Amino acid sequence: MRPLELIKRRAYPYETEEREGTYLALNENPFPFPEELVEEVFRRVETEKLKTYYDSPNRELLRAILGYLDRGFLSFENVSIGNGADEIIYVTMLMFDRVVFFPPTYSCYKVFAKALGVKYLEIPLKEGLKVPDVTLGEGDVVFLPNPNNPTGHVFEREEVVKLLEKGAFVVLDEAYYEFHGESCVDLLKRFENLAVVRTFSKAFSLAAQRIGYVVSSRDFIDAYNRVRLPFNVSYVSQIFAKVALEHLEIFEERIRFVVRERERMKERLREKGFNVTDSRANFVFITLAEEEKERALELLRKNRVVVRNFKEGIRITVGKKEENDLVLELLGGM
């Protein structure tokens, strides 16, 4: 058994953060899950099923996800679900010899790899935020968020294909797909060494329900289902996800709002002289030198605005209009 101190050093730093003021740090949706849909969810809950171990995934939810994907070549055997996209990522790391990722990237890739004690290789993105050339083998699994997190930029399809052609297994993390609108799911027709992971946490305002899904080859989904925990997503969470997919028009309107606000923020920040990446997610990313970054963070903190701090700059979740206006006003006065 590993010493507890070793586990603590490796594991995720679970530190609670006070949610006072304007919280724009975790890329959550500015809109709550619609009240009328919450009522719909609980009208569908059958209390008899709460005492049982519920199918995970339920076939009706899989059917709804397949309909959302709208890809005729996919079947029930090509999709599964997880306790958030994070569980899918975590479990997938257990299935390969080495984890590969390219910072700046989703911070949990490294956190999870260290906690699990698996081998990992991190190679920084090249100039222009391009995927670096790397030698890969069949035992490697590559994690690539698209749009990227924290920069929000989109990797070109050719970059994804080049990685796939190296023979490693590639997990394309499309957590922010809805805010970009373009996917690489169709590449599954050509490559069996690809998995696309998505979540209901962002566009569908269901972060608290912890539900994500993965689309891949039948062989990978079969292996994933054997490794993940049984009954890993709750009965109620699956109903929430299904109801969300049945009312896409509500969420599509909200997505359009977030995209408009994102573009407005990018434009205004650039007018103020900030170096802003071309984010296609639900956040903006400002590249800042260390001294200027600390000034910006201190100014935001003094006004009770919480954003995410990275070595390369700061990431600001697109919030409600008044929250975004506050951020623009504060940073504009630097």
Domain, as residue range, for 140: 36-246
Q: What is the pLDDT of residue 19?
A: 78
Let me know whether 162 and 255 are in one domain: no
* Cα torsion 20, 234, 183, 68: sign: negative
Residue 6 is predicted with a pLDDT of 62
Domain containing residue 265: CATH number: 3.90.1150.10
Is the model's pLDDT at 157 over the cut of 90? yes
Number of domains in the chain: 2
DSSP-derived letter for residue 13 is -
| Helix, coil or strand: residue 149 | coil
- Residue 6 inside a domain? The answer is no
Tell me: do 223 and 112 sit in the same domain. yes
Residues 184 and 301 in one domain: no
pTM: 0.94
Together in a domain, 287 and 167 = no
Q: Is residue 8 part of a domain?
A: no
Within a 13 Å sphere around the CA of 293, how many CA atoms are in the beta-carbon half? 17
Determine the Cα–Cα distance for residues 201 and 244; give it in Å rounded to an integer.
11
Helix (H) or strand (E) holding 282: none
Residue 129 lies in a domain: yes
Q: Give the three-state DSSP class for 285.
A: strand
Q: What is the pLDDT of residue 10?
A: 61
To 10 degrees, what angle do helices 321-332 and 248-271 make? 10
**pLDDT tens sequence across 230-259:** 999 999 999 999 999 999 999 999 999 999
Instruction: Answer yes or no: is pLDDT of 18 > 80.
Output: no
In a domain, 131, yes or no: yes
Q: Tokens representing 203?
A: 């566009």
Claim to verify: residue 78 and residue 120 sit in the same structural domain = yes
Out of 11-20, 208-217, 243-252, least confident range: 11-20
The verdict on 234 and 193 lying in the same domain is: yes
Question: Has residue 56 been placed in a domain?
Answer: yes
- The fraction of the chain above a pLDDT of 90, given in percent, is 92
Q: What is the CATH number of the domain that holds 84?
A: 3.40.640.10
Report which of 185, 186, 158 is spatially closest to residue 172, judged by C-alpha positions.
185
pLDDT above 60 for 1: no
State residue 8's pLDDT score.
63
Peptide bond preceding 104 in cis form (omega within 30 of 0): yes
Confidence tier at 40 by pLDDT (50, 70, 90)? very high
Mean pLDDT of the 142-161 span: 98
Question: Residue 84 contacts by C-beta under 8 Å, 6 or more apart in sequence?
Answer: 199, 201, 210, 211, 212
- pLDDT score at 333: 84
Q: Which residues contact 135 (CB under 8 A, 6 or more apart)?
A: 166
Boundary (domain end) residue, out of 246, 280, 313: 246
Q: Which residues pair with 216 in a beta bridge?
A: 195
In the structure encoding, which two tokens stand for residue 219, read together?
């062989």
**Of 231, 246, 261, which one is at a domain's C-terminal end?**
246
Task: State how far the Cα of 260 lies from the Cα of 269, in Å rounded to an integer.
Answer: 14
Q: Which two tokens stand for residue 69?
A: 């994907």
| 2 part of a folded domain | no
* Same-domain pairing of 229 and 309: no
Q: Please report whether residue 5 resides in a domain.
A: no
320-329 pLDDT, tens per residue?
A: 999 999 999 9
CA dist 246 and 44 (Å) reads 13
Domain limit, last residue, from 190, 218, 246: 246
Residues 22, 91: one domain? no
Say if residue 172 is in the same domain as residue 278. Answer: no
Q: What is the pLDDT of residue 154?
A: 98
Give the CA distances from residue 87 to residues 23, 141, 142, 148, in Å, rounded to whole numbers and listed in that order. 25, 15, 16, 19
Q: Are residues 225 and 258 in the same domain?
A: no
- Do 90 and 142 lie in one domain? The reply is yes
Nearest residue to 183 via CA among 172, 194, 171, 193? 172
Residue 236 exposure: Cα atoms within 13 Å on the Cβ side: 14
Give the mean pLDDT of the chain. Answer: 94
DSSP 8-state assignment for residue 223: H
In this structure, are 122 and 192 located in the same domain?
yes
Q: Is residue 7 part of a domain?
A: no
Mean pLDDT of 15-33: 87
Does 155 have pLDDT greater than 80? yes
CA 55 distance to own-chain centroid: 24
Q: What's the whole-number mean pLDDT along residues 168-192? A: 97
